[in-house]
Amino acid sequence: MSMIDALTNIPSKKSLEESLKNTKFPILFLIDLKGFKLINMQHGDEMGDALLCSFANSLSIFAKSQNILAFRLKDDEFALLKDASFDLDIIEKLIFDLVDFISQQTYNLKNTTIKPETNIGISFDLNNSLKKASLALSLAQKEDQPFISYSEFATNLLKQKNSDISQKIEISIKNDFITPYFQKVIDLNGDEIYNEVLIRLTLKNSIQPPKFFLEIAKKRGFYPTIVKLLSKKILESNGVNAVNFSFEDIEDEELFEYLAQRYKDTDTIFELHSDNKTDIKHLQQKLEKLKASNIRICLDNIKSLEILRGLKSKNIDFIKVDGDLTRLLGISEEAKETCFNILKECKKLDCKSIATHINSNNSFKECKKLGFDYFQGFFFGKPTHKGQRA
């Protein structure tokens, strides 16, 4: 088998297999062109070959811009390979940059305009990367999802023994390794509105995001201590900051009283994370008390209108639309319609809308076009700790 694909003139499946042998930390994307067989049947092999060559050229351009490798495996299946250690934020940005890049492609072939659509399977694992990415691709095709990832590495991190995670939390509390990271929210002019505070455990050899420790911290009774340590650091920092809390935090009477008093008159924003099933009507009094303490409120992770129904105007200052919606604006009419309806509700509530997960200029354009007020994402800067802030 040749190392170069005869049709598209990019590296072949054999080349990928050889490259994987020499890749220390593989991040592998398998990309399938949706509807290719139908295009081939309707317009003939010549048109099909032209589409494959055009798409291969596009992938090569993207790969070069990201310092990664592009391959054609078979038929309408392609691959991208990056050698990099596991970093969830960087991988997420690469995924959405790729999805966004593909959504921008248009090919004019024999007086026919074709916009390629794809399913993508992703593996981050060291062993059997190709097999695992293939399984992820099969699932993405079956469920017609833009992408699905398969990662035993990430799964194993999530399945660490509770005792091991508890020990890391105790060490972090004792040695002051509870660290705030900051990611800015900006307006249309690029001016900073506020910074969202993201908690991390900055242990000697790793930086752990909350999904790896926060639930264990709550179960083992560390959570109030973490909140107090983080609050101290936040209130010592400059600028307007937003702190993430859950509705369960607000329902906890003791914790709520602490938060209301600790952040009173500090120009702080509480970002309340929604699971889109929470009934917040019975929390109106608490929301009003926070407002009376000059604490502004942002509803985070909003995916539908349901949670917004029954809210009182002036109780909510910001609404953050979930990234699962905003990052699909360019390729999903359903996502666009849902965002449009949420923005209409924002105007009724007299609050500002925030588009999250903006990872490319095209995503930014789509969100601006729809009418979002504010924006957040890697396109404007990744989360940084206090010493790195501008």
**β-pair partners for 385:** 181
Domain with CATH 3.20.20.450 in the chain: 160-388
pTM recorded for the entire structure = 0.67
- The DSSP result for 6-67, as a single string, is TTT-SB-HHHHHHHHHT-SSEEEEEEEETTHHHHHHHH-HHHHHHHHHHHHHHHHHHHHHHT
Q: How far apart are alpha carbons 118 and 146 in whole angstroms?
A: 7
- Cβ-based neighbour number of residue 46 at 10 Å: 11
Position 387 scores a pLDDT of: 43
Tens digits of residue pLDDT in 9-64: 999 999 999 999 999 989 999 999 988 888 878 778 888 899 999 999 999 999 99
pLDDT at 1: 65
Q: Using CA atoms of 51, 17, 22, 207 in order, give the dihedral in degrees to the nearest 10.
A: 70
pLDDT of residue 114: 85
The mean pLDDT value of the chain amounts to 86
**Could you tell me whether strands 296-302 and 318-321 are parallel, antiparallel, or unpaired per DSSP bridges?**
parallel
Neighbours of 278 (CB within 10 A): 18
pLDDT tens-digit profile, the chain (390 residues): 679 999 999 999 999 999 999 999 899 999 999 888 888 787 788 888 999 999 999 999 999 999 999 999 999 999 999 998 777 777 878 888 898 889 888 898 877 888 888 999 999 888 889 999 998 888 788 767 788 887 655 555 555 667 788 888 898 899 888 889 999 999 999 999 999 998 888 876 667 778 778 888 888 899 999 999 999 999 988 889 999 998 888 888 999 999 999 999 998 999 998 765 666 666 788 888 999 999 999 999 898 887 787 676 678 899 999 887 887 787 678 889 999 999 999 999 899 999 998 877 778 888 999 999 999 988 888 788 754 443
Q: Please state which CATH class domain 13-156 belongs to.
A: alpha beta
Topology, domain 160-388:
TIM Barrel (3.20.20)
CATH 3.30.70.270, the chain: domain bounds:
13-156
> What 8-state DSSP symbol labels residue 240?
-
Count H helices, E strands: the chain? Answer: 15, 17
